[in-house]
Amino acid sequence: MAMITKEQEIELLKKLEENINFTYVPQKDAEPMTPERMAEIIKELEQYPSGFVAACLEKGHRRVDYYTSRMDKYYTDASIQCTNRAVGARCGFVVTMRVGVPVPEFDAPDRFELLRLIDASPKPVTLVIQVDEPEGMRLSDSNFGGQYGRVCNICGVQNVICDGAIRDIEELEGYGMQLMIPGTVASTAPSMIYELNGKVEVAGMEVEPGELVHMDRDGAVKFKAEMLEELLEMCRAEKWAEDETNKVIEMAETVEECIHAYEICHLRCNPAKEEA
């Protein structure tokens, strides 16, 4: 297959430059976003992989005030992975729980209070569980399981992110839930809820209630709820650029054509520098 002509390349590079400089402009006098509209956007965002969403958020010329460096703790590291291959990418509103070993005379919240928080949250819900224990304990006892997972699911939880082991994953996945965990164990042990709906950090990602998390087998990435419409437009623009540059890559047959094709592909993320 022949490579694109010089004229086609110039036209594509021009469009890519325009796409790189894309700026989201909210509609004037727009009505507040309804839960139904948020659910529609979330469903469309689930068509994109998490790495794609992260790439959009990381483009400094688009959102430097929120995603400026890897120190911002906005995505998970490789210590936890999604288990349910039957479902694709998932996106949901965060509800949090911090648990650990029982502490005598501590006035702990109960698990019924968590169910009420899940019920009151916008849907769908991603439950993020921080296990406040040493690694050896986090990974040796189950911190979430079938029956409690089912009642959480009925109340609105579609996804669970936890930095400790859980169990009953076949049962939980059978309810359509996505689980992002370090692994599973058969046994459980007494535990206590330390805090509900506070800031937590799981696998390097720091989240708060009301934020959203987009997750799949490549990892999880968080963003603020007010960015829903902006992020969707960014993903649409990025998808166009990826599709167009992929076409160029598929035309390449020789090593030099591969190099040139990748140079064009690289420009969709990195605008050409102006000469002094």
Dihedral sign computed on CA atoms, order 152, 155, 161, 162 = negative
Q: How far apart are CA 61 and CA 22, in angstroms?
A: 9
Full-model pTM? 0.87
**Packing angle of the helix pair 50-58, 228-251 (nearest 10 deg):** 110
Residue 29 phi, psi (nearest 5): 55, 30
Distance CA(258)–CA(133), nearest Å, equals 49
Q: What is the pLDDT along the chain (276 residues), one digit of tens a residue?
A: 467 788 888 888 888 777 777 776 767 767 788 889 999 999 999 999 998 898 888 774 344 444 455 557 899 999 999 999 999 999 999 999 999 998 888 888 989 999 999 999 999 999 999 999 888 888 999 999 999 999 999 999 999 999 999 999 999 999 999 999 999 999 988 889 999 999 999 999 999 998 999 999 999 999 999 889 989 988 998 888 888 888 888 988 899 989 888 888 877 665 554 444
The pLDDT value recorded for residue 136 is 82
**Residue 268 near residue 19, CB atoms below 8 Å:** yes
**Distance, CA of 46 to CA of 44 (rounded, Å):** 5
**What single-letter amino acid sits at 158?**
Q
Give the whole-angstrom CA distance, residue 110 versus residue 107: 9
pLDDT digits (tens, 9 = 90+) for 204-243: 999 999 899 999 999 999 999 988 998 998 899 888 888 8
Residue 194 carries which side chain, given as an amino acid letter?
Y
| DSSP at 92 | E
Please tell me whether residue 237 adopts helix, strand or coil conformation.
helix
Using alpha carbons only, what angle is made at residue 82 by residues 81 and 86, rounded to the nearest 5 degrees?
155
Return the residue matching tokens 């696998």.
203
